Chains A and B, each alone.
Chain A
């Protein structure tokens, strides 16, 4: 079923690095995203799951073209089949592509929340916003509050509504639910599902893997700034045998309900990436080949995997 839907956003071999000046003039490149492949389809919720520091949030900045000046990007990003150039990004920001950022720090401390949810475009969608606030369980008068008066959950609901108020065809939600009650989180996710059903593509960035299992159509697993596996969510629900990459399986096993088995070792830092497959140092199945060259992305059973041995 997943092949039926049209890819709205397609990312191939994306790498993002930051130029850093360490010790005077010595310039080092800090690679935070490497050889990343990712696809978001209209009508689907695609989750990006991975530990913190795996480059999830930077991906959204790269897509929107709002990376800091010292970042350099290579690779290809397509939107509706067209190459996503800086000019196109500028045009699409806030109209066709909407972002749900992850914390209250993304709200202007001196602007009332109603105005912030509406955004800078005229006319302001006041009526729609009031309805949306009600659905998200935001108390009346919330629109007159300043960000410092909001709880974390309220702030996130404001941020969510800011994206839902646009007619965006691509919504990138960066950790939208922490701080919300279970009910509120479910309501927010239901709203995302409605957006997807009406034809938008929703990208849900989260480190809450359970949530991704439940709500996403497909899941991309991030590790150290790259995608190791993309597969239908149903495969993740089925268990490790349905998965293709050793890291995905390890993630699955690390869940409380699946035995709580942690994986030894640490995700490598951006400054100290290993040669070859980024997961190789922690991989139980690694061979010499893995430590020399990055495995290419392969199609396996309706999913994609970057592993020589994934099957």
Chain B
């Protein structure tokens, strides 16, 4: 186990450089994109104010936005603000973007965490089942489900769930993260959970087929291996093979895949949150785009990239910690 910290440090450093370069590129790219937009953010801001503005006021606002500056200068001032933790002010909410992201992300985080854990556990178990029953009925059945699921738009699935479980059966509320008209301080944990189940389940189905099929494939490779043949020759039964050799060899790749799938998770949350009117970062992203809330849109884009990169980083570090082959080779 010695030497694990320096090695992880190396992985961390190596990845950090790449992530920094990517984040910088994302910031430039998204800045260029929003600047290319035909939508005039100043006009949008003024419309958002809802009151008439005098030409002087308008000039002030333009000044604040730096509308007359060249884009490069505006980018630099945005970036320097960003480094100080100042992402600007949302044109719609009239509040610092950083605050909004913080608040909304907390909601999204709970949702994504539940969905992530659910899809991981269900996907892994289904994948193991498929692998163990390869070519037989349970495998064919689950495989079909996976293929169909990956062809179904998640938001439509969400709509159908909403229709069946909320409207028809009345088991779950129709939307929002808490009952409408109840002060947020008075919302009980149960109410929160109650509002979370359907969106989290919908979101979990986005990455379920991926993880299930991947696990199936990996377990299949393990079961075809010579070391499992030897295990059988020594009298190990199906379950012993799964628990002694299968899990050992497939848990790590599956976990890595789960961490590497933060991108789909975040993308899926945008849709799921919209269907279930869940006040998270995803629905904020869609609103920001629709209302031309440029600072918020930029902030969320950057934050989502950070989120995805963090997932990739964790996946890489995990590999470094758990896989003895990597562990020793780097020694």
Q: Which stretch from B104-112, B189-197, B230-238 is at the chain A interface?
A: B230-238
A182 interface residue per 8 A CB criterion: no
B245 interface residue per 8 A CB criterion: yes
Contacts of B240 in A (CB 8 A): 120
- Sampled A-B contacts (19; CB under 8 Å): A64-B233, A93-B235, A94-B234, A94-B236, A99-B230, A105-B226, A105-B227, A106-B227, A107-B227, A107-B230, A108-B244, A109-B249, A110-B324, A120-B240, A120-B244, A146-B325, A148-B325, A149-B328, A162-B234
The residue in chain B whose Cβ has the minimal distance to the Cβ of A106 is B230
Given contacts A66-B229, A103-B226, are A119 and B234 in contact (CB under 8 A)? yes
Could you tell me if A99 and B245 are in contact, using CB atoms closer than 8 angstroms? Answer: no
The residue in chain B whose Cβ has the minimal distance to the Cβ of A93 is B235
Q: Please, how many angstroms separate the alpha-carbon atoms of A120 and B244 in the complex?
A: 8
Shortest Cβ-Cβ A-B pairs, 3 listed:
A94-B235, A94-B234, A93-B235
Interface string of B272-297 (1 = CB under 8 A from A): 00000000000000000000000000
Chain B count of residues within 8 A CB distance of the other chain: 20
The residue in chain A whose Cβ has the minimal distance to the Cβ of B235 is A94
Within 8 A of A (CB), among B208-234: 225-227, 229-234
Could you tell me if B235 and A111 are in contact, using CB atoms closer than 8 angstroms? Answer: no
Shortest Cβ distance from residue A79 to the other chain B in the assembled complex, whole angstroms: 15
Interface string of B236-257 (1 = CB under 8 A from A): 1000100011001100000000
Out of B226, B234, B244, which one reaches A93, CB within 8 Å? B234
Contacts of A101 in B (CB 8 A): 226, 229-230, 233
In the complex, number of A-B residue pairs with CB atoms less than 8 Å apart: 70
Could you tell me if B325 and A98 are in contact, using CB atoms closer than 8 angstroms? Answer: no
Shortest Cβ distance from residue A136 to the other chain B in the assembled complex, whole angstroms: 18
Q: Please, how many angstroms separate the alpha-carbon atoms of A146 and B244 in the complex?
A: 15
Given A60-B233, A108-B227, A146-B324, 12 other A-B residues pairs in contact with their CB atoms under 8 A: A66-B229, A66-B232, A94-B236, A99-B230, A108-B244, A108-B245, A108-B248, A109-B227, A110-B249, A110-B323, A110-B324, A148-B324
Could you tell me if B226 and A106 are in contact, using CB atoms closer than 8 angstroms? Answer: yes
Given contacts A101-B226, A146-B328, A148-B325, are A111 and B233 in contact (CB under 8 A)? no
A95 interface residue per 8 A CB criterion: yes
A90 interface residue per 8 A CB criterion: yes
Q: Please, how many angstroms separate the alpha-carbon atoms of A42 and B236 in the complex?
A: 25
The residue in chain A whose Cβ has the minimal distance to the Cβ of B327 is A146
Q: Please, how many angstroms separate the alpha-carbon atoms of A107 and B231 in the complex?
A: 9
Contacts of A66 in B (CB 8 A): 229, 232-233
Q: Please, how many angstroms separate the alpha-carbon atoms of A93 and B235 in the complex?
A: 5
Q: Please, how many angstroms separate the alpha-carbon atoms of A106 and B248 in the complex?
A: 15
Could you tell me if B229 and A106 are in contact, using CB atoms closer than 8 angstroms? Answer: yes
Interface string of A110-153 (1 = CB under 8 A from B): 11000000011100000000000000000000000010110000
Out of A61, A98, A110, which one reaches B234, CB within 8 Å? A98
Q: Please, how many angstroms separate the alpha-carbon atoms of A21 and B256 in the complex?
A: 36
Shortest Cβ distance from residue B233 to the other chain A in the assembled complex, whole angstroms: 4
Q: Please, how many angstroms separate the alpha-carbon atoms of A120 and B227 in the complex?
A: 13
The residue in chain B whose Cβ has the minimal distance to the Cβ of A92 is B235
Could you tell me if B249 and A99 are in contact, using CB atoms closer than 8 angstroms? Answer: no
The residue in chain B whose Cβ has the minimal distance to the Cβ of A96 is B235
Q: Please, how many angstroms separate the alpha-carbon atoms of A29 and B223 in the complex?
A: 24
Could you tell me if B249 and A108 are in contact, using CB atoms closer than 8 angstroms? Answer: yes
Contacts of B233 in A (CB 8 A): 60-61, 64, 66, 93-94, 99, 101
Q: Please, how many angstroms separate the alpha-carbon atoms of A61 and B233 in the complex?
A: 8
